Amino acid sequence: MTATTPIRWGILGPGSIAQSFARGVADSRAGKLVAIGARNPAKPGLAESFPGARILDGYDALLADPDIDAVYISIPHPGHAQWAIKAAEAGKHVLCEKPLALTAFEADAMIHAARKAGTFLGEAFMYRLHPQTLKLVELIRSGVIGDIRMIKSSFGFAMPGFMPQHRLYANDLAGGGILDVGGYPVSMVRLIAGAALGQPFAEPDKVVGTAHLGQSGVDEWASALLHFPGGIVAEVSCSISLNQDNVLRILGTKGRIEVPDFWFAGGNRDVGLGQIDVIASDGTREIISVNEKRHVYSFEVDAAGEAIRAGRQEFAWPGMTWAESLGTLRVLDRWRAAAGLEYGIEKAQQRINTISGRPLRSGGTAIAKRTIPGLSKPASVVALGFEDFRTFSSGSILLDAFFEAGGNLFDTGYVYGAGYTEKLLGEWLKNRGVRAQSVVIAKGAHSPLCYPDVIGKQLDQSLDRLQTDHVDVYFMHRDNPDVPVGEFVDAMDREVKAGRIRGPFGGSNWTMERMDEAIAYAERTGKQKPGALSNNFSLAEMLEPIWAGCITSSTDAWKAWLTARQMPNFAWSSQGRGFFTDRAGRDKRDNEELVRVWYSERNFGRRDRAIELAARLGKSPIHIALAYVLAQPFPSIPLIGPRTLDELDDSLRALDITLSRADLEWLDVGSLRAA
């Protein structure tokens, strides 16, 4: 592809905004419209609305067309992630209408697919590429209205009335104002706050939102307050059932700026001249216009084309970069959560397929399986923890990907997410039908409720949340040395006999002495012996507990004990919580936890050697740290907690590293110990 080769566009979904985009392509310098993908290709008027374009039967036909370089996705929001991912897998570049996805988690999956495919992905906030936007940023940076203190922005209109079949009122099409038009004011205030702070965009440190949910359960009008570093406050609002003035107001110490209908540059879907009013403190007004007469959609067509020709995978600023799209969606996620807005299509009952729209696949081999003493079925060599997710739609993306890679070992705890982690896993196991193939770790009796009689009561609730009649591995989440250890063993043994624990049990954050005492008690009384441990274990030794009551098993004495006992250890914080990344360093002291818990010269020596070995192997130090845990001479199962698909893929890069006993010793102490 040369610098002058036109980008051949296909449009996925022939709605009204697609027609505007088509006119933008016609007026662009870099694009050519080739085809339209329609589910009803015989619909009257398609040929007239998209002159010169071939009308293809269905979206898959569009993605399979070899004469198309890039796809513009204009279908309703719920289909954005599925078809953007499929387009990337088909090698097509993608420009996707706003919002890029329903949530930041979905958008991250789309970005992950584009990154792997090497294709372009951009969010079609076309106002960002209109010359008015750059002029507005220049005015803010010039200080013409002084220091920015407040930003007010709205996008609201009134539909003729409640129309349950219209996409804006349809719950199953993710209707309402926040997703349809709320992204405009949110993305704009993030841009303006960034300009005021000398950055491409700014992230709010506080978001407070609310909304009125109408009879179909979508937000009909909504408002939010965003607070940014430096004291900048933004008020944003949107509506589909209420007319608003739709003026962007930027208030500074020396005046204000007003921009009417900024998303169309003060015009319409064809032309926006770009009017910016600068009002000084004394009330004098200067009207600035970029006087742009090109089609408003032509700018994003050209910007996408320039990126594709240059081999870039995202828009150049001030277009919506991936970081901008994710940041804007995170604000919308928080706004929706504050308003209690979750669409039915995001819940487990309706979300029966993966994010790509396909049924869950089994048989993956990227994550190997191993035999763990006491377990009746093989378990993946790493276990997945997933505390960061608060909705099924967000968490299922990672759970699906882990399972499809071969993972079947899931780490939960009674206290995680106030119970939501267990609930999410239970919904996913039932929804996907994979409970029999999965190995579920549960934990209970966390301090201060660390007593034998709590175990059964909390396990009742855990099983209810998990929608199962048993767990495969069970840990007491903390120990209570004031209670005789035999009482804990008796309580867990009762659950084994009742069939509610069908594998090993043991202690999380238990000392060596208490484990020895518990094992001896079980042997003496004929009870099931504690057969597993879940303590911290890492190449970097934990110097102080991260949280109260935590125990490390990374010392020489612990490693000898684990090896002699052949005790499985499910290792948490196995990669040192960032110690093996660029967040740490001898000269980096800004992270209190890293400094307090991991900083010692011995640990830095281990980090230095991990960096050296990683360079030799073409890996990262965190891969070496994970491989170290996996290669121990006792059953060692790391618990990993990726939050994104990129982080999951990155963790899996450690699984093809084979470390010898000599490698382990060198990483640990820097030389081989005498025999």
Q: Cite the active site residues.
A: 98
Element housing 152 (H / E): strand 148-156
Whole-Å CA distances, 436 to 376, 440, 461, 469, 472: 11, 10, 20, 11, 11
In the block, which residue shows the tokens 């440190």?
205
Parallel, antiparallel, or unpaired for β 439-444 and 473-476?
A: parallel
Judged on CB neighbours under 10 Å (0-12, 13-18, 19+), 6 is middle
With beta carbons less than 8 A apart as the criterion, state whether 234 and 263 touch: no
Whether the CA torsion 606, 607, 609, 613 is positive or negative: it is positive
Which DSSP string do the residues of 34-47 spell out, in sequence order? EEEEESSTT-TTHH
With beta carbons less than 8 A apart as the criterion, state whether 167 and 181 touch: no
d(CA 345, CA 220): 18
With beta carbons less than 8 A apart as the criterion, state whether 634 and 587 touch: no
DSSP-derived letter for residue 128 is G
DSSP-derived letter for residue 451 is S
Q: Where are the alpha helices (DSSP H) in 340-438?
A: 392-404, 420-432
d(CA 98, CA 152): 21
Among the listed residues 585, 586, 583, 575, the one whose alpha carbon sits nearest the alpha carbon of residue 622: 575
In the block, which residue shows the tokens 């950055």?
199
d(CA 56, CA 34): 10
Give the list of residues 6+ apart from residue 251 with CB closer than 8 angstroms, or none.
Answer: 145, 148, 149, 150, 151, 152
Give the list of residues 6+ apart from residue 165 with CB closer than 8 angstroms, or none.
Answer: none
In the block, which residue shows the tokens 């204000």?
256
Among the listed residues 4, 309, 292, 248, the one whose alpha carbon sits nearest the alpha carbon of residue 129: 292
Among the listed residues 20, 43, 42, 45, the one whose alpha carbon sits nearest the alpha carbon of residue 33: 20
d(CA 297, CA 317): 17
Q: Which long-range contacts (CB under 8 A, 24 or more apart) does 610-613 make?
A: 610/539, 610/580, 610/667, 613/663, 613/667
Among the listed residues 70, 75, 129, 69, the one whose alpha carbon sits nearest the alpha carbon of residue 321: 129
With beta carbons less than 8 A apart as the criterion, state whether 291 and 274 touch: yes
Cross-strand pairs, 473:
441
Give the list of residues 6+ apart from residue 174 with CB closer than 8 angstroms, or none.
Answer: 76, 77, 78, 102, 218, 343, 345
Element housing 277 (H / E): strand 275-280
From the CB of residue 42, how many other CB atoms can be counted at a distance below 10 Å?
A: 8
Rg of the chain taking only CA atoms, in angstroms: 28
Cα angle 204, 210, 211; round to 5:
130
With beta carbons less than 8 A apart as the criterion, state whether 202 and 158 touch: no
